[in-house]
Structure 1
Amino acid sequence: MPASAVRKHYCSRCLNTFSEDIDQCPNLSCRRQKPARGWGVIFAEGDLFDRTYRIHKMLAVGGAGVTYVARELDGDNEEVGPKLAIKVLLAARDQGPYVRRLATEAQIIQELDHPNIVQYLGFVHRAGHSPYLLTRFESGGSLLDHMRRVGTLTVKQAALVGRQICWALEKAHEKDIVHRDLKPENVLLTREVAVHEDPVIRVADFGIAKVQGSLGTNLTRVGAFVGTPHYAAPEQFVGGAVTESADVYGVGALLYFTMTAKHVVRFADRIDPEDSFQLLCDNLPPQLERPSDPPDVVERMQTVLAAAMEVDPLARCTVVELDEMLQAVATDQDPVVPRHSRTVASGVDVAPVASVLGVAAAAESLPPPSRAHRPTAPAPA
């Protein structure tokens, strides 16, 4: 291990981290005694993981696990193959629903196998070791990292990124999988690019995806909020049915942020969900302001955002239609806005907010809308 690398421990009760192997958690609101099997360990650079991988660095710590960059070792203890991302459950989360979620995520990305979705490399779950998921490491970091390096995206760059996300979602929706947590942190770049280059992306983190059919059952209790408040669709705040339409909204909210560095509702993660819902209803669609882009290009993207971010999930465009509109923006054409009716089968007109609260909840019992078959679009070179 390099001299500068320090292995950290953590308390599995409060997730507080500390450098020394002490007898009691230093968190004054916890003060847990050191458990018999020891504190949880956050691996440091140079550590061996599961006797098979050498840790290069820690990427992120979440509420359920830690993600590392590593490489596999051969029989001579030499590193071989590409860099990997290893997502390991925390010691306090290595059982029950957390394991089922990680196993489901592994199965999802293995089955989807799409050039704009992170590549599955393996899943390990055995007695005596925390479960972990192996995926290909994307060296460009997240879309949020890219924005921190170069600033906001131009409208056309956002359109091209949005198209790639749509291609990934088309494949997921064909399998009745709804991502539910689209955000810049969950969109990865295959490599770092300069400010005027167009990123090639892969969608990551299907950990809270809604899965139906052969892949598994829904692991989220009815009415629970799931997602990230800044990018969640209105129906996610009020316990409405979360369908493919929520992902369409998520793409719109994500693209709006990449072009403006602003959220539709500030501090949505700190206020009551019902208040967030009302604020969203009052502020949708968001007004796109991009003085550095040509006004006609901004106006076209504004049209796209309006179609993707309708309050009423039944009135939003589909992911295929969103892809087509973004293609129009990227090629200096006027997007063709689909005309979706806010009516139910009875023919009664439904107000947008009522649809979110009522009609959307009934949508889960209806068969999914038919999709025109078309080949999966490849990632741009």
Structure 2
Amino acid sequence: MPLETGTRLGDCEILSVVGAGGMGEVYRARDTRLQREVAIKILPDSLSGDKDRLRRFEQEARAAAALNHPNILSVYQFGSTDAGAPYVVMELLQGQTLRERLMTGALPVRKTVEYALQSAKGLAAAHDRGIIHRDLKPENLFITRDGVVKILDFGLAKLVSGDASQNTMTALGSQAGTVVGTMGYMAPEQLRGQQVDPRCDIFSLGAVLYEMLSGKRAFQGSTPADTVSAILKEEPPEISETGGKIPPALTRIVQRCLEKEPAERFQSARDLGFNLELLSTSSSGSGSVAVVEPIQPRWSLRWPAVALLLIATIALVYFATHIRKPMSSSSSPVVLRRLTDFVGMEEFPALSPDGRSVAFTADVSGRRQVWVRLLAGGTPLQITNDEADHQSPRWSADSASLLYFTPSAEASGQGTIWEVPALGGAPHPIATSLSGGDLSHDGKRVAYLRASEGNVELAVADRDGSNARAVTRLQNDFNYTN
């Protein structure tokens, strides 16, 4: 039975009913002690007689209350009504849920990236405290009138019996064999009742991100069984097929979130947020990554002598006009800023052409792996994660992918050039039995060193490794590096 206006719950006085549903009733109330308006959610009476559930609810409420983050709904206190029904006192929000916003169709790309980034930041804060949402969906993402995303109902979904009409399946705990979440947004491991970790929230956010971009659900069957089958076995339709113009980088982010295997997804909400940050810092206004073309020499590889002569001339002019002159007193001092703090050696730094990121290698695990860090800040993103030893990352002209060199195990100086998306993903080989490598300015060709009949050749090939040809044969009396 709904509570009447004026009913008191602790320090709070009920003002009006906000809404009701399978998750309980929500009231607008006033905290008479702190003189502020709050929201109170009263959970179903079915929980009032279960001491174990009440104990777990209290633990979850305490954990949620400890999540002091701007993108997570603040929980102030909890208690029980005179009838024994548990309730939580939360901040009162003004705005609408993401589900209500999606009723009008897909969101603009920039707004989608903004909301997804805020959601990822909120999830990262929760995951850092060992809390997994398990039921992330548009209904649990609230957009305030100021455009701030608030994640709702942390830890509540696994405590409350679901509404069958909403295709919600719930159970206590997070151990293997239980299922918690909402069909259509649940990760495959959730549907199988397997042990879950924070990566299940990554999948759910990916499904939400897909829906924001397309206006359609990523997985939607005519029956609950069809939806389960789609999540376990099928890939969602390409976002580009839904009619919207989506930046390729954003499409790759969605695809990686929705990988069936947890190991293939972003490994943390921070990693996901890092990649979304790359898009959100775009100044193009379209949510795509703006590319600033680097200034590079355009001479042909056929004229190495001319190139060397030109470089020498430029160097002499620079030294004659700059080095010999005393530095002006008005010159700005050079400021050094540390970008990495791994335990181990970081090598081969490479600045992206758009000036936003730096790629490098680090031997954190005993093997040199490729990493990328956003210059604006944030946690470095690990691009490769295998048993090989990688070197010399190079950026493509559009900053969308990386090339790197992997020496062979025989220590012959030869190896393989690989290409991988800058956001991470499956690398593919470009050429083998060679040393080093770099992309041409237009990104269509790759130059590298290779052994041929006991000599070293400078060769070029198309980006996919085809149409390889020698440019010049180098002298064996010298050592060469890229």
Q: Same fold (TM over 0.5)?
A: yes
Indicate the residue corresponding to 1:279 in structure 2: 230
* Alpha-carbon distance between aligned partners in 2 of 1:107 and 1:137, rounded to the nearest angstrom: 18
Distance 1:123 1:304, change over 3 A: same
The alpha-carbon deviation at position 155 of structure 1 amounts to: 1.7
Q: Is residue 178–residue 209 contact of structure 1 (8 Å, CA) maintained in 2?
A: no
CA-atom RMSD in angstroms? 3.0
Equivalent-residue separation in structure 2 for 1:207 and 1:177 (angstroms)? 8
Work out whether 1:156 is the aligned partner of 2:110.
yes
- Distance in 2 between the 1:277 and 1:242 partners? 17
Q: Secondary structure at the match of 1:109?
A: helix
- The higher relative CO (CA closer than 8 Å, separation ≥ 6) is in 1
Q: Which amino acid aligns with 1:104?
A: Q
Residue type of the partner of 1:153?
Answer: L
Is the partner of 1:124 in helix, strand or coil? strand
Cα distance in structure 2, aligned partners of 1:241 and 1:224: 8
Instruction: Quote the offset at 1:129 in angstroms.
Output: 3.9
Provide the residue aligned with 2:95 in structure 1. Answer: 140
Following superposition, the deviation at residue 73 of structure 1 comes to 4.2
Deviation string 1:142-196 (CA, Å, 9 cap, x unpaired) is 1112233x532112211111111111111111112111111111111222x6xxx
Q: Tell me whether 1:67 sits opposite 2:15 in the alignment.
A: no
Counterpart in the other structure of 1:56:
16
Identity within the alignment, %: 27
Higher-helix-fraction structure: 1
TM-score under structure 1 normalisation?
A: 0.65
Query: Would you say the 8 A contact 1:238–1:277 is kept in 2?
Result: no
Q: What's the CA shift for 1:221? A: 5.8
* Partner residue of 1:288 out of 221, 225, 239: 239
Deviation at 1:291, TM superposition (A): 7.3
Q: In structure 2, what is the equivalent of residue 333 of structure 1?
A: 289
CA distance in 2, matches of 1:210, 1:89: 13
Secondary structure in 1 aligned to 2:96? coil
Q: Partners of 2:25 and 2:143 in 1: how far apart?
A: 20
- Structure 1 residue 91: Cα displacement: 2.4
The structural deviation recorded for 1:107 is 0.8
Q: Residues 120 and 243 from structure 1, CA distance in 2 versus in 1: closer, same or farther, beyond 3 angstroms?
A: same
Equivalent-residue separation in structure 2 for 1:162 and 1:284 (angstroms)? 21
Q: Does 1:201 align with 2:201?
A: no
How far, CA to CA, are the matches of 1:128 and 1:47 in structure 2? 17
Q: Aligned residue for 2:273?
A: 323
Count of aligned pairs? 278
Cα 1:222–1:317 shift into 2, 3 Å: closer
- Report if aligned partners of 1:116, 1:165 keep a CA contact under 8 Å in 2: yes
Match of 2:220?
A: 266
User: What whole-Å deviation, never above 9, does each CA across 1:214-267 have from its counterpart, x for those lacking one?
Assistant: xxxx73564121101111111111122211110111110011112222112214
TM-score by length of 2: 0.52
Q: Is the 8 A contact 1:314 1:342 kept in 2?
A: no
Deviation, 1:325, is 1.4
Following the alignment from structure 1 to structure 2, what is the Cα–Cα distance between the partners of residues 300 and 140? 30
Question: 1:309 — aligned with what?
Answer: 258
Q: Distance in 1 between matches of 2:198 and 2:2?
A: 36
Amino acid at match of 2:277: Q
SS at match of 1:177: coil
* Structure 1 alignment gaps of length 5 or more: 1-40, 75-79, 194-198, 212-217, 344-381
Where does residue 38 of structure 2 map in the other structure?
Answer: 84
Q: CA deviation at 1:101?
A: 4.2
Whether the 8 Å contact between 2:117 and 2:273 is mirrored in structure 1 is: yes
Larger strand proportion of the pair: 2
Query: CA 1:310–1:221 in structure 2 vs 1: closer, same or farther (change >3 Å)?
Result: closer
* Residue type at the aligned position of 1:200: V
Cα-to-partner distance string for 1:25-53 (whole Å, 9 max, x where unaligned): xxxxxxxxxxxxxxxx1235x35243741
2:71 match: 116
Letter in 2 for 1:50: L
Do 2:184 and 2:228's aligned partners in 1 also have CA atoms closer than 8 Å?
A: no
The correspondence for 2:85, drawn from 107, 124, 130, is: 130
1:261-299 CA distance string (max 9 Å, x none): 21122147x423xx5444224432541137775x4x432
What does residue 18 of structure 1 align with? none
- The 8 Å contact of residues 98 and 143 in structure 2, kept in 1 or not, is answered as yes
CA distance in 2, matches of 1:168, 1:138: 16
Q: CA 1:317 to 1:112, structure 2 compared with 1: closer, same or farther past 3 Å?
A: same
